[in-house]
Amino acid sequence: MIIQCERKEFILQDDLIAITRDDKFIGYGKVIAVLEEHVLVDVDANASKSLFEIFSEEIPCDFTFVNEKYCPETGELKKDTEGR
């Protein structure tokens, strides 16, 4: 399954991403393309199954990319960091 998500400046092509649901690990994804405003992520079979349930049941959800330098609360990179 390939999903389209909002782009964050620290995400690069070929990055591996751990995917969680309710703070539990459900699988991995790999960034296959970085576009102007979005990224395309190819998710593994385990994550696909869980995401399919969410999408088919129309459960509200969002995708938040987080790393050690990104503050999801503000949407900004922490000071004294440059990308990765």
> Per-residue DSSP letters for 26-70?
EEEEEEEEE-SSEEEEEE-HHHHHHHHHHHHTT---------TTE
Residue 43 has what pLDDT? 93
Banded pLDDT at 80 (limits 50, 70, 90): low
Mean pLDDT of the chain: 81
pTM of the predicted model, to two decimals? 0.70
Banded pLDDT at 70 (limits 50, 70, 90): low
Average pLDDT over residues 42-58: 89
Check pLDDT > 80 for residue 40.
Answer: yes
Check pLDDT > 80 for residue 82.
Answer: no
* Dist. CA 80–CA 84, nearest whole Å: 11
In terms of Cα–Cα distance, which of 62, 58, 66 is closest to 3?
A: 62
